């Protein structure tokens, strides 16, 4: 698998404050790579350095083998960018913005199609200043995709979007991936990261403290799963022998089993083997949010 992006030993200081502290990661071509981390952990600085928008103090960045600082012209047609804080001229109309971006980007997409995909057809003639926060955000994502990039950076793509628009955005990102586009997605939404990302890097204080697929991060850091059910049978000592079970708690007829691995399957098998088939057997699935909170340990935003 070839790499779309290689960040190696990146370090960035602002007036002596180290915002990015020597971090390295690779993004494979065609994957959706997520970056999560508390406010101020260096996510935007990293993606801005990766796009050649900020000059790193140390380390190197390669995008499809090119240096974004020196090969910017060559990369312009390959990379799309939605920055966390972008502004357009107040009076620029939605269609004008798309038309302008399309005219300066070789191999551009059909922008009326993007207008439709991102739910902006009705706002075609509206000025940027008159758009709501979510509509601006959608326009900025559409603009990032106008040149049909091979790699797109989305920094908080869905912040400010209503729940329905967020789902639409997720579906569109799926479609973008299906076309083979590589996506680097910075997000604070753990459900979004879990749903969309093939792999994730967890940032803390300018470093990567964990990396892996959402499922790997959940399995490694989110803690034990629990399974609950009700039974009147009092002796459940045999359940402790089921694979992965670490604890069994009981409150009246309600039983909570804690453990690791495929706990639901093992618990259900042991119960059925002992003639118990509870109707209310349920699993509390650990989420990426549990893993994130455990990893960042309640880190205060800076």
Ligand X SMILES: Nc1ncnc2c1ncn2[C@@H]1O[C@H](COP(=O)(O)OP(=O)(O)OP(=O)(O)O)[C@@H](O)[C@H]1O
Report the residue number, 40 or 262, with the smaller CB distance to ligand X: 40
Using CB under 6 A as the binding rule, whether residue 200 contacts ligand X is answered as no
Report the residue number, 31 or 155, with the smaller CB distance to ligand X: 155
Cβ count within 10 A of residue 152: 24
Alpha helices in 179-213 (DSSP H): 190-196
Pairing of strands 245-251, 254-259: antiparallel
- Report the site for ligand X in 248-287 (rule: CB under 6 A): none
- Give the x/- contact pattern for ligand X in 3-22, rule: CB under 6 A: -----------x----x---
Enter the tokens of residue 88: 């357009």
Cβ count within 10 A of residue 38: 19
Beta carbons of 43 and 207 less than 8 angstroms apart: no
How many residues belong to the site for ligand X (CB under 6 A)? 12
Give the end-to-end CA distance of the chain in Å, rounded to a whole number. 37
Q: Which does 230 bind (CB under 5 to 8 A by kind): Mg ion, ligand X, none?
A: none
Beta carbons of 156 and 188 less than 8 angstroms apart: yes
Beta carbons of 255 and 236 less than 8 angstroms apart: yes
- Listed in sequence order, the residues at least 6 apart from 109 whose beta carbon sits closer than 8 Å to its beta carbon are 102, 145, 146, 147, 148
Using CB under 6 A as the binding rule, whether residue 81 contacts ligand X is answered as no
Which helix (H) or strand (E) segment holds residue 35: the answer is strand 32-37
Using CB under 6 A as the binding rule, whether residue 43 contacts ligand X is answered as yes
- Listed in sequence order, the residues at least 6 apart from 16 whose beta carbon sits closer than 8 Å to its beta carbon are none
Which helix (H) or strand (E) segment holds residue 139: the answer is helix 133-144
Report the residue number, 14 or 238, with the smaller CB distance to ligand X: 14
Among 39, 60, 175, 253, binds ligand X (CB under 6 A): 39
Report the residue number, 12 or 123, with the smaller CB distance to Mg ion: 12
Report the residue number, 226 or 296, with the smaller CB distance to ligand X: 296
Report the residue number, 189 or 229, with the smaller CB distance to ligand X: 189
Using CB under 6 A as the binding rule, whether residue 84 contacts ligand X is answered as yes
Least CB distance from residue 19 to ligand X, whole Å? 3
The region of 42-50, 108-116, 245-253, 270-278 touching ligand X under the rule CB under 6 A is: 42-50
The region of 38-46, 144-152, 262-270, 283-291 touching ligand X under the rule CB under 6 A is: 38-46
Using CB under 6 A as the binding rule, whether residue 80 contacts ligand X is answered as no
Q: Which does 282 bind (CB under 5 to 8 A by kind): ligand X, Mg ion, none?
A: none
- Listed in sequence order, the residues at least 6 apart from 226 whose beta carbon sits closer than 8 Å to its beta carbon are 256, 257, 258, 259, 263, 283, 284
Q: Which does 39 bind (CB under 5 to 8 A by kind): ligand X, Mg ion, none?
A: ligand X
Using CB under 6 A as the binding rule, whether residue 40 contacts ligand X is answered as yes
Q: Which does 262 bind (CB under 5 to 8 A by kind): ligand X, Mg ion, none?
A: none
Using CB under 6 A as the binding rule, whether residue 159 contacts ligand X is answered as no
Using CB under 6 A as the binding rule, whether residue 74 contacts ligand X is answered as no
Q: Which of 219, 187, 207, 146 is closest to 32 using CA atoms? A: 187
Q: Which residues bind ligand X (CB under 6 A)?
A: 14, 19, 37, 39-45, 84, 302
């Amino acid at each position: 698998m070839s790499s779309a992006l290689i960040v190696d030993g990146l370090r960035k200081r602002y007036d002596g404050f180290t915002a990015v502290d020597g971090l390295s990661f690779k993004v494979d071509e065609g994957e959706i790579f997520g970056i999560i981390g508390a406010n101020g952990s260096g996510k935007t600085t990293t993606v801005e350095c990766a796009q050649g928008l900020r000059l790193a103090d140390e380390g190197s960045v390669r995008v499809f083998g090119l240096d974004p600082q020196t090969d910017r012209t060559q990369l312009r047609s390959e990379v799309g960018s939605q920055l966390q804080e972008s502004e357009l001229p107040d009076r620029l109309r939605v269609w004008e913005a798309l038309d302008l971006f399309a005219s300066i980007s070789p191999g551009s997409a059909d922008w009326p199609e993007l207008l439709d995909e991102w739910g902006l057809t009705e706002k075609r003639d509206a000025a940027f200043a008159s758009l709501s926060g979510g509509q601006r955000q959608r326009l900025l994502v559409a603009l990032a995709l106008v040149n049909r990039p091979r790699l797109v950076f989305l920094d908080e793509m869905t912040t400010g979007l209503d729940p329905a628009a967020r789902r639409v955005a997720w579906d569109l990102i799926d479609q973008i991936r299906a076309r083979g586009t590589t996506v680097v997605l910075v997000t604070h939404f753990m459900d979004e990261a879990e749903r969309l990302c093939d792999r994730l890097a967890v940032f803390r204080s300018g470093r990567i403290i964990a990396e892996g697929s959402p499922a790997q991060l959940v399995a490694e850091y989110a803690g034990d799963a629990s399974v609950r059910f009700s039974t009147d049978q009092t002796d459940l000592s045999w359940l402790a022998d089921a694979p992965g079970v670490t604890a069994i708690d009981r409150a009246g007829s309600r039983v909570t089993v804690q453990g690791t691995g495929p706990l639901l399957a093992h618990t259900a098998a042991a119960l059925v083997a002992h003639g118990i088939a509870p109707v209310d057997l349920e699993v509390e699935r650990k989420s990426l949010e549990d893993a994130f909170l455990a990893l960042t340990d309640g880190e205060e935003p800076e």
